[in-house]
Every structure is written in C-alpha cells, then in structure tokens.
Structure 1
C-alpha cells in the first residue's frame, strides 16, 4: 500500500521551509529565540513540559503565531535537538588528529551535553537528527576516524558504538538520579533501607559472586567519572583491536 493509499505523508524537514510565512504581520521573535526558550523549559522541567501553548506563553505571544514558524511540536523538538548538537563535539581547535584521543573527547563532550540537557539522552537513540548542526557534528565525528582504512560503514559503526555507550551510560545515571529524587532519600539512605534484605540473601549462601560484589566491590571504580572512563577505555581498546593492520586487509570493522 502506497503513501497516498493509506493517507500517510512524510513530514517535510523544518529546514526546508522558510523561517516564516511570506505574508502577514512581521513576527516579534525568531525561530532561534523560540528554540532557545524551549530548551530552557526542557532543561528545567523535562520534554513533557514542551507544548506550543507553553512556549507561546513563555515568549509572550499567541499560540497560533508559532505556526507561522513551524508546523507543530515535532518541528520544535527537531530544532531543539539540532541546537544542542553543537555541544556534542569538541571544538575544532581541540582536535589532535589522533583517533583515540579525539573519540575520547567526543564521548566526554557528548556525556556533558546530555547531563546539561537530560531530555536529549533518550532522543539521541530514538530521533535521527538531519539538521544543519547535526550534520556538521557528524561530519566532524567521522573525520576523527577517517584515514584508518575503514569503509564509510565501518566509520559509522565506530562513531555509533561510542554514541551508544555514552547514551546508555548517561541514561542509567539519569534514571538513578530520578529514582532517588522521587524517593526523597540520599543514596546512603536508600542503600541502608535495602541492607536487611541483602544480608538475608548473603546469609543463604546461594549467590557467592553477588556476595563478593557486595563485600569486595566498589574499591576501584567508586564514582561515575571512574566507571565512565573505564568502560570507554575498554570500548576504545576493542575498536583498536579491530582496526585494519597497516597495509593489510580490514579486520571486522570495514
């Protein structure tokens, strides 16, 4: 069944439409200003707080006036995601030309941006960004692994693996923070509440590795920064091991 038969139609990319309608009164704000306001609201209250009515109220405009700039909330979210995309990659001046150092910088910048804008973490997986900033950021990321003997698919796989690691790690961080916020407890208080049950499990003697984890774990990787760096290093080690040998055939990533 074709698109005309089932009534579906692809939404036009927001950047293919003019900034505002050619007719009508001159607008009192820009698309960029509207996007900046929406990001500020989402940072403070989450993506669920975003609506055309809310953003219009924040700007001091009628809701219908927003439709002179965008077709609806989906366009607004696309603009928000693209505006934040510039924060995901290191500056041009900080790039070293060494793929491992630069990918590490990409991971660190991406995590920092997601923690500043928590609403972006799930969108990084669920929403493909084809805006100008997103495309420029992807171009810069791909340059980090250019010249390693990889095909473009291999290069995309490497960048995607780093992005997936960062996204998963950050979403776990945010989920833990949100769970603690809802409980009203500190981490130490929450753990104290779990202690009687954990002690009963250990006393049963059925889970020796879990017992070791409780009694011996947490000595080396005690905070998020350490755990993030450790996992990232292991990922980069794996990528390095699969790179094509100099002058030899590709090894799994091409």
Structure 2
C-alpha cells in the first residue's frame, strides 16, 4: 500500500533537515508553500507539518512560522552586507568560488542562514557584490601619467593585481554577459578615457578596451584552477613541474617535436603567468599604437 501523501511530504522535509539544507532556526515551508510545491490540499499540508512537530523536528515561532527545532543561532548585532561580502571573498580566495554558499557563510559567521537573506538575496547577488568590492580595491591613481599608453598600462596592471589577489574573479566575470558593477565600470571608464581624443572612432575604442580586459581575464583564468589543484593535492606548480620533468624529457628526446625541444631547452628561458602577461600587454599596446598613429595621420591629412 502506498505511503500517504502527507507522510511522503514529511519524509522529504525530514531529509532536508537531516541533510543540513534546513538548519536549526530556519523556517520550513508553510502550508501555502507546500500546497504550491506538491499540489496538495490544505489539509494534507497541515498534516505534513503536524507530523514534523510530533517528531520533535519543528516548532512554531510567533510572527515567523514553523522553524526547525534545536539550538537557534541568532544573527550577530554587527551582521551587515559588507561583513557577509568580506567573508565570502575570503572563502573564494582560499578555496575557489564554488566553495561559496549561503549555508557555508552562515556557518562561518555563526548565524542562521535566514539572517543572511535579510542582507543578500542569494548567491547571484552575492557574487556581484564580491566582484564590485574587489574591483574597488584599486582606486584611481592620484596623479594620472601623461600619454595614452602609460595611462592604459597603469589601469591594466591594476586590474591584473586584482585578479592575482582573487583567483576566482576571472570565473565570475563574463565577456558576453557583463556584470554592471560600479567599481568595475569605473575601470572601464578610465580605460576609455585614456583613448579618448586620439582620433579613434567609438567602435575601435570600445573593442580595444574590451580586448584589453579580456586579455587580463584570459591570463587569469588559470589562477583558480591552480588554487584548487594546490588545495586538493598540496602540490605547488613548481613541484608538479619537477614531478613531470622525466615525462617531458622523454617526449622532447623522441624527435617528434624538434622545434619545441629547441625552444623549451634554450638557456635562460623563463615562462610563467607574469612573463606571459608582460609580453602580451606590450604586444597589445604596440598594436594599439599603430591604430592611434593611423587615426592621427588621417586627422592631420583631413585638416
């Protein structure tokens, strides 16, 4: 004989409680929410909640509703959106963006999960706030250097430092669906300002700036993967390379890759993310210099 519907609903809610999805003090679905989620009558929803109370899993709180029984963690007096964001950034910096969850932050801050939602709507909004906060760590330079190229270099290096401090940032930022966060937009404004008045049309200016930002993101995309690999294995990048030197040596000595072997065994070779960034930044700016020179030459010929 099939188990009654109200008991099946109670079983599912019980599983949420035992799995930790609903912690002590968290509000459980109301009768109306149960009606909507399971498509049952009011009497069935009431019976399901009654069964949980009978089992000692929930209790009624005036003005709140039915909550999970047990010791209730109360929100600290100083819990703020800024404190939540700072905690989330710390978790992401140490363990990656995937480790950030509302439940994890509630545990770290020793508050109920519901108290977080009074300040942040959910993880999507939290990631936006995190992204905005870290972009704000590099304020505008007190004295802007003369010339478009030094101005771009200054801004791009600031953004690179932000990505180095926060390896998860490259995963959080999208080129196709950009996040409109104030501090991030301020960086874009300063990049565009460096190119303004040089004779470049609006499309060229915007493409140049987006290409520079995506260059930074492309270089930084490996940072979180390296952080996660180091966390999971305890092996650093240099240690990993040392462990695989023999394998690489066999491949290079096979004769199948003569040009690669010649290049990677050249004396004094130094290749890492910073050297790739420096090389790429110079080439990006060299290419822009050609466009600027052409634009200014065209403007002079039109005078």
In structure 1, distance between residues paired with 2:242 and 2:269:
21
Moved more, 182-191 or 146-155: 182-191
Q: Secondary structure at the match of 1:138?
A: helix
In structure 2, distance between residues paired with 1:119 and 1:186:
18
- Structure 1 gaps of 5+ residues are 1-23, 250-254
RMSD of the alignment, in Å? Answer: 3.0
Deviation for aligned residue 1:151: 2.5
Q: What is the aligned length?
A: 225
Q: 1:197-212 to 2 correspondence within 5 Å?
A: 197-212=247-262
Q: Is the 8 A contact 2:95 2:227 kept in 1?
A: no
In structure 1, distance between residues paired with 2:164 and 2:95:
14
2:133 is matched with 83
Deviation for aligned residue 1:53: 2.0
Cα distance change on mapping 1:94 and 1:41 into 2, 3 Å: farther
Aligned pair partner of 1:237 in 270, 276, 286:
286
Aligned pair partner of 1:123 in 137, 154, 172:
172
Q: 1:37-48 to 2 correspondence within 5 Å?
A: 37-48=87-98
Q: Secondary structure at the match of 2:111?
A: coil
Structure ranking higher on relative contact order (CA contacts 8 Å, 6+ apart):
1
For normalisation by structure 1, the TM-score amounts to 0.75
Q: Is the 8 A contact 1:82 1:129 kept in 2?
A: no
Q: Is the 8 A contact 1:125 1:167 kept in 2?
A: no
Moved more, 190-199 or 149-158: 190-199
Q: Is the 8 A contact 2:148 2:195 kept in 1?
A: yes
In structure 2, distance between residues paired with 1:190 and 1:60:
37
Q: Is the 8 A contact 2:96 2:227 kept in 1?
A: no
Cα deviation 1:163-207 (Å, max 9, x = unaligned): 111111122355456545645445554344434443433343232
Deviation for aligned residue 1:212: 0.5
Cα distance change on mapping 1:191 and 1:130 into 2, 3 Å: closer
In structure 2, distance between residues paired with 1:173 and 1:219:
25
Cα deviation 1:59-99 (Å, max 9, x = unaligned): 34321122223321111111111111223x56231421421
Larger Rg: 2
2:148 is matched with 99
Q: Secondary structure at the match of 1:125?
A: coil
Cα distance change on mapping 1:52 and 1:191 into 2, 3 Å: closer
Deviation for aligned residue 1:135: 2.5
* Residue 271 of structure 2 corresponds to residue 228 of structure 1: no
- Structure 2 gaps of 5+ residues are 1-63, 65-76
* Residue 216 of structure 2 corresponds to residue 166 of structure 1: yes
Cα distance change on mapping 1:40 and 1:156 into 2, 3 Å: same
